[in-house]
Amino acid sequence: MTSSSYEAVIGLEVHTHLMTRSKLFCGCSASFGSGPNENVCPVCLGMPGVLPVLNQYAVELALRVALATHSEVQTRSVFARKSYFYPDLPKGYQISQYELPLCKGGYIEIANGGESRRIRLVRIHMEEDAGKNLHEANYSLVDFNRSGVPLVEIVSEPDIRSAAEAGAYLRELRAILRYVGASEGRMEEGDFRCDVNVSVRRKGSDELGTKTEIKNLNSFRFVEKAITYEIGRQIELLEAGGRVTQETRLWDPNREETRPMRSKEFAHDYRYFPEPDLPPLEIDGQMLERVRAAMPELPAERRRRFQRDLGLGAYETAILTEDRAIADYFEALLNGGVIGSKTAANWTMTEVLRIVNETGKPLEEAVPPAAETRILLKMVQDGVVSLNAAKNAFSVMCKSGQPAAAVVARLGLAQVSDEAAIAAACDEVIAAESAKVAEYRAGRDKLFGFFVGQVMKAMGGKANPKVVNEILRQRLQS
Amino acid sequence: MDEKKISLAQVRHVAMLARLELSPAEEESLQSDLSAILRYVDKLNQLNTDEVEATAQVGEPGTLMREDQVTNRPAADEMLANAPARSGNYFKVPKIIE
C-alpha cells in the first residue's frame, strides 16, 4: 500500500469575529487595540447578578453569513452554557449554542483546479469570545477586552479531501464574510480562527477513520501545512500497523509538525445546558427579509458575472473578486464605458494591488478614487501619456493625492502627439543622418529603430512613438 | 433509600471539572448528597409533562434585543477594584500550567 491508496477526510471549524461596535451581551466596545481591561463591565466580567442582553446587529450579521452560505435559518434557536474553568472565562461558562443552533446545513462552493465543488456545512451558531491570558514566569495576566465579543462558528461537513481544498474553502469563506460585512477575516489578528479535523481512510471506503483535531493555526499557510503533515503522519502510522489515537494536537510552526497537547484538562466535558438568562432566540420573517434585502452580490455571483458579461478569464476573475473593495474599484473603472474591461482588469491587478500590498493600507486610503484613475487610463488610451508614464504618475498620485492631470503636467509626462512638431524632428534627423538614410533605403531595414531613437532623443523622450513611427516610415520611403 | 445514584468515580470526575480537591470523607458525603438530589429529580420525572413545552427559563416570550451601541466607558480601575491581585491594568492570577 502506498500513500496514494489513501484519501483524507477533513472538516473545518471556523470561528470569526462579527464586526459590531459593542459586545454580544453588553454595551462595552468590541474594538481591537484598547489598553488592557478598558472595555470591560460587570456583565463581561461575570460579576454576580448581571444579565446578558443580546446585540441585535450581531444576530443580523450572523444571518447574513447564513444567507450567503445557503444555510437554513432556524426560527427558534437556544443559547447554552458551555462550562469549563480557565482564567480567560470569567463566568466559568461560555454562552454558546448547542442543540439548537441559529442555522443548520448550507454549503460553500469552491473552485479547485477548474472543478467546482460544494463543501456542505453542518451548522452556524453564535457565541461569545473569551478573554486573553498572558503567561509570565511565575503568574499569569488576564485581559478581558475580548470577553463577550460576538463570534460565529461555522462548522463544515467532512467533505474536504486535501490541504489545497481546505485552503480554497477558507479563502472562499473569508471572501464571503468580507463581502457581507460580517467580519474582516484577518487570521493573523485572531479574528478568523480555524480548527481542523483530519482522518484518513482507504480510497473507496465509506467508513471514517479515527480523527485528530489540530489547533493553533493562525494563517492559511499553516492550515495547509498542518493538514499535509497530519495526513502523512496518519498514513505512516497505519502503514506501520499502528492506530491513530483520537486526540487534540497543536501545530508547531517552528518545527513544522503537529504534536499532542500535553494537558488532559481539555477533556471535552462541557456539560452544556440551556442558558436560563436568555430567552430562546426567535427570528421572525420580517427580520430575515430585512437582512435578505440588504444582502450584497456574493463572490460566486460576481465571478460568474465577470466571466460571462465582461469576458474575463478564471484567473483574473479570482484575483479581482477575492476582496469586495478591489472588485468594486475595478467595476468603478468601467463606469461610463470609456475604459475596456481588459485594461481595467490589468490595471487593477498590477498597479492597484501593487500599491495596496506595498502600503499595507486599506484600498480606499491607498489609491486615488476610481474616477481619477479613470482619467489617467483615458490619457493612456488617447495617447496623451505612455503606459509606463501612467504607471509612474499613478504612484505619485497615490502618494500625493493630486489629480491625474496635475501630476502628468507637473512631471512633464505628457507625450507630444503634435504631428507638425514630430515631423520637424524627423526631418532634422533625416537631414543629419544622410549616410544612414541611404543605407536604409538600400535595404538595411534594421536602421529604422535607430531613426526612431534619434527622434525620441531629439524630443526628450516625449514623442508619441506611434506617431513617430508613422511619420518616419512615410518620410523614409520617399 | 440509601441507594447510591452516583459512583465515587463520577463524584471525583465532577470534582475535577469543578477544580475541587476533596478528601475521601467529603467524596462520600457528596456522593450521598448528590444521590439525594438525583432521587428528587427522579421524582420530578414521574410527572407527566407530555403536554408541556420544554423551557429553560421563565419570563416574557419573545426575544428582547439591544441596539449595537457602545454605552460603557473605560473604567479599568473600577473594574479591577475587587480583583484579588492586579498588575497594571491586568488581572493577576496564579500561573496557568499549560
Could you give the ipTM of this predicted complex?
Answer: 0.87
Task: Give residue-wise pLDDT tens across range B73-91.
Answer: 889 999 999 899 999 999 9
Q: How far apart are CA A22 and CA A20, in angstroms?
A: 6
Average of per-residue pLDDT values in chain B: 89
* Domains, chain A, ordered by start: 3-290 (no CATH), 297-411 (no CATH), 419-477 (1.10.10.410)
pLDDT at residue number A151: 97
Whether the CB of A140 is below 8 Å from some CB of chain B: the reply is yes
pLDDT at residue number A118: 95
pLDDT at residue number A287: 93
**Within the 346-385 window of chain A, which residues sit less than 8 Å (CB to CB) from chain B?**
none
User: Is pLDDT at A315 greater than 60 in this prediction?
Assistant: yes
pLDDT at residue number A267: 52
Q: Which of B10, B64, B79, B82 to mutate to test the interface with A (most CBs of A within 10 A)?
A: B79
Whether the CB of A83 is below 8 Å from some CB of chain B: the reply is yes
Task: Give residue-wise pLDDT tens across range A80-135.
Answer: 999 988 889 999 999 999 999 999 999 999 987 667 899 999 999 999 999 999 98
B66: chain A residues, CB-CB within 8 Å: 27, 53-56
What residues form DSSP beta bridges with A197? A11, A213
B59: chain A residues, CB-CB within 8 Å: 279
In A92-206 the beta strands, taken as DSSP E runs, fall at 93-97, 103-104, 107-112, 115-128, 132-135, 139-143, 150-156, 192-202
User: Is pLDDT at A265 greater than 60 in this prediction?
Assistant: no
pLDDT at residue number A470: 87
pLDDT band at B2 (very low <50, low <70, confident <90, very high): low
Of B79, B93, B95, the CB nearest to A40: B79
User: Is pLDDT at A25 greater than 60 in this prediction?
Assistant: yes
Residue A384 burial (CB count, 10 A):
19
Provide mean pLDDT across the span A29-39: 94
Provide mean pLDDT across the span A21-33: 96
User: Is pLDDT at A264 greater than 60 in this prediction?
Assistant: no
Whether the CB of A264 is below 8 Å from some CB of chain B: the reply is no
Closest-CA distance, A138 to chain B, in angstroms, reads 6
Show Cβ contacts of residue A314 under 8 Å, excluding neighbours closer than 6 positions: A111, A114, A307
A278: chain B residues, CB-CB within 8 Å: 57
pLDDT at residue number B24: 96
User: Is pLDDT at A273 greater than 90 in this prediction?
Assistant: yes
* Domains, chain B, ordered by start: 8-45 (1.10.20)
Grid cell in block for residue A378: 483615458
pLDDT at residue number A126: 98
Show Cβ contacts of residue A205 under 8 Å, excluding neighbours closer than 6 positions: none
Q: Is A188 or A326 the better-scoring residue by pLDDT?
A: A326
Contact check, Cβ <8 Å, A140/B56: no
Q: Which of A213, A169, A210 is nearest to A192 (CA)?
A: A169
User: Is pLDDT at A456 greater than 90 in this prediction?
Assistant: no
Q: Is A461 or A147 the better-scoring residue by pLDDT?
A: A147
Task: Give residue-wise pLDDT tens across range A134-172.
Answer: 988 899 999 999 999 999 999 999 999 999 999 999 999
Average of per-residue pLDDT values in chain A: 91
